[in-house]
Chain A
Amino acid sequence: MKTFFSLLQKKLFAENAPLVMLVGLCPLLIASKTLISGLVMAAAISSVLIFSCVVISLVRKLIPDNVRLVAYMIIIATLVSVAEIMIRAYLPTHYVNLGIYIPIIASAGIVFAQADNVASKNGIVVSVIDGTLTAITFSIVIITVSFLRELLGSGTILSHRMIEEEYGMSFALSGGGGLVILGMLAAVVKKINSIKKSKKEGE
């Protein structure tokens, strides 16, 4: 359990996928206008990440090295399509909102990096743990960003009004606003990282 937390900490700060490695930004920016769409996207990406880790770590020895990227692409795209069908079936209202953006997960670097860096080199247990941690990291980031964007932009949280309508900053809802919020979060994580590093050096 202790190693799990230390691993999570490492994933959250030193190797934060969206904020330090800057992968998976496309779905992150697209689906973070409202908290609920952020939650749906987090669920979709998490399931795709974990299942792709399972499948790829299982078949990694069967796939020749020179076509591995293509094969991973097909596997990831299949899992994304399954996720899309599931969302269409069980969350139709969110499918209307997010539908055309779900397939973009297939091209998101976060899944692909995970598949090629971890799942193709490790056994199933290690890859699933690592994939889960990446999924948790991504979910935390997208939930934070979408929370801030919805609160600042529309003044609501899950469609409950929090701030008077006239104080809403519609800039936060635009793409630029999303990038600015993301940048601020990245700065915070970077600061924490540098503090940690200097502490380590001091010891």
Chain B
Amino acid sequence: MNKKRFSFKFDSDEKIKFSLSEKKKNIIYSVLTLFIVAIVSAALLSGVNELMQADERNKNDADMLEVMKRILSADEYRKTENGFEKTKEILAVYEAYEGEEIKGYCVQVEVKDYTDTITLMVAIDNEVKVQAVEIVAMSENAGKGIKAKDPQFLDAFKGKDNYITANKGTPKDKNQISVISGATTTSKAVTEGVNDAIAVVSQIKADVASVEKETGEDAPETNEIPTETAPQEVAPETQTPTEGNVGEGGSAQ
């Protein structure tokens, strides 16, 4: 088959040659058209993307700010990177400043129930007590999980300060909450997220305490910090920025 076509191509009949070149012209024209269409589309897309990206980032920050204002009102929110172990669940940690004093922390956490990703904003005060929990984003596909947006469920987290467990039925313990019936997995995922947030803030608190001690008197470095996170946190470069904040916070105390 291949051979036949090959020989056909080189048959120097005037007519066939003509039609072949016509076909070739068509092919070239088609390819060029497609090429131009693709180039123009790509240029348009990259232009739109470029335009929107900066806008988007500002918008996202503004949205987060709005959520934080709602759940923990303060004058200023500063993103912090120090004093805690970074995991992929913790998206961002913000310190809420009232004047020059840290009023509390807002932790943005991402958790997964069995199908969906849920983004939470957890407000925690200085005594590592949960002030409020808000679901920032949740995939629509959650279906039943959408019940977790129920304010009654989210309010139940208020005042919790330790590892929270989610169980069925009425809570017996102080750090226990009841799951939403029909949305057990989602409730447990949200609870895990809040626990992560509490863990982060207590780590920051422990870090602040250890730095404080260190600056005051030459105390051993790894004081209240649990296990493996310790070496990371007392690394010299992560300390320096925290020290300033601690000084301010300490003097106010």
Q: Which residue of A lies closest to B142 (CB)?
A: A97
Per-residue contact bits, chain A 16-41, to B (CB 8 Å; 1 contact, 0 not): 00000000000000000110010000
Docked pose: A96 CA to B116 CA in angstroms: 10
Main secondary structure of the interface of B (DSSP, over half): helix
Which residue of B29, B34, B144 contacts A170 across the interface (Cβ within 8 Å)?
A: B144
Shortest C-beta distance, B183 to chain A (Å), equals 11
Per-residue contact bits, chain A 73-96, to B (CB 8 Å; 1 contact, 0 not): 011011001100110111011001
Shortest C-beta distance, B134 to chain A (Å), equals 12
Contact yes or no, B63 A92, CB < 8 A: yes
Known: A33-B143, A66-B26. A78 touches B52 (CB 8 A): no
Residues of B within 8 A of A70 (CB): 34
Contact yes or no, B33 A64, CB < 8 A: yes
Contact yes or no, B144 A78, CB < 8 A: no
Residues of B within 8 A of A82 (CB): 44-45, 48
Shortest C-beta distance, B116 to chain A (Å), equals 10
Contact yes or no, A89 B140, CB < 8 A: no
Is A71 interfacial (CB 8 A cutoff)? Answer: yes
Q: Which residue of A lies closest to B136 (CB)?
A: A93
Docked pose: A71 CA to B37 CA in angstroms: 7
State how many residues of chain A have any CB contact under 8 Å with chain B.
31
Which residue of A37, A67, A174 contacts B140 across the interface (Cβ within 8 Å)?
A: A37
Residues of A within 8 A of B49 (CB): 85
Which residue of B29, B52, B141 contacts A85 across the interface (Cβ within 8 Å)?
A: B52
Known: A78-B41, A82-B45, A89-B52. A67 touches B137 (CB 8 A): no
Docked pose: A96 CA to B142 CA in angstroms: 11
Q: Which residue of B lies closest to A70 (CB)?
A: B34
Is A128 interfacial (CB 8 A cutoff)? Answer: no
Contact yes or no, B137 A93, CB < 8 A: yes
In the complex, besides A33-B140, A98-B140, 16 extra interface pairs with C-beta distance below 8 angstroms are A66-B26, A71-B33, A81-B45, A82-B45, A85-B45, A88-B52, A89-B56, A92-B59, A92-B60, A92-B63, A93-B63, A97-B139, A154-B146, A170-B144, A173-B143, A173-B144
A-B interface, 9 closest residue pairs, ranked by CB to CB distance from nearest:
A97-B140, A78-B41, A96-B137, A89-B52, A67-B30, A89-B56, A64-B30, A71-B37, A85-B52
B interface, CB within 8 angstroms of A? 26, 29-30, 33-34, 37-38, 41, 44-45, 48-49, 52, 55-56, 59-60, 63, 119, 137-141, 143-144, 146
- Of the A-B pairs whose beta carbons lie under 8 Å apart in the complex, a sample of 22, sorted by A's number, is A33-B141, A59-B37, A62-B33, A64-B26, A67-B30, A67-B34, A71-B34, A74-B37, A74-B41, A78-B44, A81-B45, A85-B45, A85-B48, A85-B52, A86-B48, A89-B52, A89-B59, A92-B56, A92-B63, A97-B140, A97-B141, A173-B144
